[in-house]
Structure 1
Amino acid sequence: MRGRYVQRTWQADPTIYAPPRHRRACTYDAFVPEPVADVEVVLPGDVAGVVSDAEKAIAELNRAAGPELMPLARLLLRTESIASSKVEGLQLDARSLARAETNRDTGRKVGPGAAEILANIDAMQLSIERAADLEGVRPADFLDIHRVLLERAPNSQVAGRSRASQNWIGGNDYNPCGAAFVPPPPEEVDRLLDDLCVFVNDIALPPLVQAAIAHAQFETIHPFEDGNGRTGRALVQVVLRRRGVTPAFVPPISVVLARDKDRYLKGLTLFREDRLSDWIELFAAAAAEAATLAARYTIRVGELQDEWRERLRQHSNPRADAAAWSLITVLPAHPVITVPVAVAATGRTKPAAANAIEQLEAAGILARLNESARNRAWEAEGLLDLIVGLEAGVSSASGA
């Protein structure tokens, strides 16, 4: 076992609104994990092979990432963020979320569920963008990610703050007695996060092994009242970016983990049972599948863009320097687009961007979503279908 149990007593509280049995004092065992800063990992040959194959698949995904494919990087980051939310039970279909994102960007109101998932995208983007620039990861960086993640959530008062009380997973809502898992007591959190940062800042282990252990240790510490899973999965991408494995494209590992949540949770239990090789094999296999899935979809999105260019060519064939061609290039990053977003994404003037949207709409590439003169938005034809397939973990390149 990678840690020890400490017994604690949950104090009786006759004032809470709960069934009588949950108001009484009870005992529970909290798990305090071993530090990971000096962990030694010896992998069996077959597991080392899975890790190597996964890192090669991620490298291959990134090798094809030229400047023209950068909008796809945002698509993959978006997909990873949404899938990470899905693991936690936050569900919203791709179309609704894309439209909510547009509403937010144009100052319109969005629902609380959409706002929380959009915050996860922002938190993931913040963590990955900052990862390469940080000299070293500090506990404060976890707090920053968590703050962005939960600042629009109903429980935003806990955003960016380590927990000061005991939390737990499973069981009942009133006390940790009988819970499926009880993380370490709150007084252990700071020490364990400091140790985790030392581990993350080291480069002794292969990057994917480091990411797997860092994620599992973070989930075991469970340092926040809420948002631990999403912050911990952002940490995976932080490690991979810092180690130079994902300079452009993030493999949407959460897509694979979300598809079999029970297996993922069992894997975290394997880690706590000191079955490191089993957990690392499961994690690396998910990463390899995610990279392969992402590579297939980048190809399919590229094919869709070629179809759009041919449609535009046949319809109006604008000049080679026309904004319409630039807009097709950036559309994968913005499946639902507005004129202000098109201006920002292409760097063209407002009249040029508006004219480009008009040309793509006439060619059947963009479909108008509303008739309002203000905040008018368009959806890119066929793109959200591909995104739905990617978010669902469909393995076929034609599965959209």
Structure 2
Amino acid sequence: MDPDDFEDGPGTITPYEGLPCYRPASLPPEIEYTDDIIRVYGDAQYALGRLATLHRDVDNENLLIAPFVVREAAMSSQIEGTNVTVSDIVLHDVDGTPQRSAAESADVREAYNYVDAIHEGFERIEAGESLSVELICDLHETMLKDVRGEENRPGELRDVPVYIGSPDRSAQSARFIPANPQTVDLLLEQLVSYMNGGSYPSVVDVAITHYQFETIHPFRDGNGRLGRLLIMLQLYDAGLLPKPYLYLSAYFNRYRQQYLDYLLAVSRDGNWEQWITFVLNAIAEQAIDAYNCGIKLVGLREQYYSPFPNSPAVRDVVDFIFEEPYLTAPRAIDVTNRSRQAVYDAIKALEAAEIIEEISGSERYQVYRAPAILSIVESP
């Protein structure tokens, strides 16, 4: 990283043991409401509002929450270079499962932890907590629990420098060196204070604070995933997102190079317009995609209900396969509270209707898959 490249940027270079660490400027920045920003702001607000109407019209919110959370976790993990799929995450707690993808077991566990962190974050905000350094650290610990070495210290702010875009993990080849570790705690406190106050409309502030969080890079690892989760939590806290329905990782993964370049352009040149436009476009596009995905899931459930108007146990199992598209009878019995015989009869009926299919090939511990649901959730 060449400090001369950042002379025109809004931040400053704060050296640490000879390393040129970049300290972002205090928030808020001065933002000009250009035509592009006004346009994408309107698009994002409209798309989020339409997504909220879908939530209001669904009688069982888990019909949407479970598929969307797993989808976001899979895409977020893929950004980090893994092969984790939706199926891998759903299958995580299913014993005797069929062959998984090529993903490493530690990567699958990490993706599953991300699911836990999403639920934890939303539950704590819903319970009345504000965004805080403590909450952020707790979510980081949940994300990295049992999957990283002690050197990455889950839940603890970093006290060492980190290097971004360094092929050999050296300072010399780094594209960017985030904030001096001695300033991380102060910078994060200031950022959280801004998150709970803000100066601009919430969707604009989300773009601003996501840049700030990633530029501070407060942890040794997991900053990208946690930063994307914080976007959802901020939108939820602002009343713009009813539940964790927004999987921004899909957009950031699709435009990964632009994401990295535009982040860097804010630090180098103060190019906030380009960055804010990019993030608001992501929010708008993914909110539209989530709405369309939700409509498909709601319609598919009605289609599955239709042949069984007088079979409440079958309908309960149908609801369950939307939450967990890989099905085992013991798990379905636990979740639906139906009798063993009722669940087995329901599974038999759903298999006969080709709504689920047996995939384990086992005589005793059978695993079923709901292919149409997976097709919707796993679509890019």
TM-score range, shorter chain: 0.7 to 0.9
Residue 57 of structure 1 corresponds to 47
Residue 30 of structure 1 corresponds to 21
* Superposed displacement of residue 388, structure 1: 1.9
1:295-374 aligned within 5 A: 295-310=291-306, 313=307, 317=308, 319-320=310-311, 322-372=312-362
* Superposed displacement of residue 304, structure 1: 2.5
- What root-mean-square deviation, in Å, do the aligned CA atoms of Structure 1 and Structure 2 show? 2.3
Structure 1 residue matching 2:94: 3-state secondary structure: helix
1:1-400 aligned within 5 A: 1-9=9-17, 27-36=18-27, 38-65=28-55, 66-103=58-95, 111-155=105-149, 158-173=153-168, 175-272=170-267, 273-310=269-306, 313=307, 317=308, 319-320=310-311, 322-372=312-362, 375-389=365-379, 392=380
Structure 1 distance, partners of 2:233, 2:280, is 16
Identify which range, 201-210 or 143-152, moves more after superposition.
201-210
* Superposed displacement of residue 384, structure 1: 1.2
Structure 2 distance, partners of 1:373, 1:147, is 40
* Superposed displacement of residue 195, structure 1: 0.4
* Superposed displacement of residue 83, structure 1: 1.2
Q: Which amino acid aligns with 1:221?
A: I
Q: Which amino acid aligns with 2:73?
A: S
Contact in 2 for aligned 1:90/1:117 (Cα 8 Å) = no
Structure 1 distance, partners of 2:82, 2:66, is 20
Structure 1 residue matching 2:20: 3-state secondary structure: strand
Aligned length: 362
Structure 2 distance, partners of 1:62, 1:386, is 20
Structure 2 distance, partners of 1:235, 1:103, is 32
Structure 1 residue matching 2:175: 3-state secondary structure: coil
Contact in 1 for aligned 2:314/2:343 (Cα 8 Å) = yes
Q: Where does the alignment leave 5 or more consecutive residues of structure 2 unmatched?
A: 1-8, 98-103
Structure 1 residue matching 2:155: 3-state secondary structure: coil
Instruction: Give the TM-score of the pair, scaled to structure 2.
Output: 0.88
Contact in 1 for aligned 2:68/2:377 (Cα 8 Å) = no
Contact in 1 for aligned 2:118/2:244 (Cα 8 Å) = no
Using a 3 Å threshold, how does the CA distance of structure 1 residues 239 and 374 change in structure 2: closer, same or farther? farther
* Superposed displacement of residue 287, structure 1: 1.0
Structure 1 distance, partners of 2:362, 2:150, is 33
Structure 2 distance, partners of 1:89, 1:56, is 32
Structure 1 distance, partners of 2:30, 2:123, is 30
Higher relative contact order (Cα pairs below 8 Å, separated by 6+ residues) = 2
